């Protein structure tokens, strides 16, 4: 894992920009589509998070075994 992985993300990243966007100009249908897309993105991020946790667990298990010998 690179050291940059532990640093906080920049405040001007895309997620931060989306969070601050005015929604008044969107129709109800557009808002529902946006919700669908964001929920899909949340699931994608959760999946990657779980994968990263598994990778970390595997690495800790491996290095823990190497350190014990």
Which tens digit of pLDDT belongs to each residue from 6-23? Answer: 667 666 788 888 999 999
Element spanning 47, H or E: helix 28-68
Q: pLDDT per residue over 34-69, tens digit each?
A: 999 999 999 999 999 999 999 999 988 888 866 555
Is the CA virtual torsion 33, 35, 37, 40 positive or negative? negative
């Amino acid at each position: 894992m690179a050291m940059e992985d532990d640093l906080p993300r920049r405040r001007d990243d895309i997620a931060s920009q989306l969070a601050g966007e005015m929604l008044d100009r969107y129709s109800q249908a557009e808002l529902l589509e946006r919700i669908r897309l964001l929920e899909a993105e949340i699931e994608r991020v959760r999946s990657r998070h779980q994968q990263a946790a598994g990778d970390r667990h595997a690495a800790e298990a491996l290095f823990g075994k190497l350190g014990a010998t």
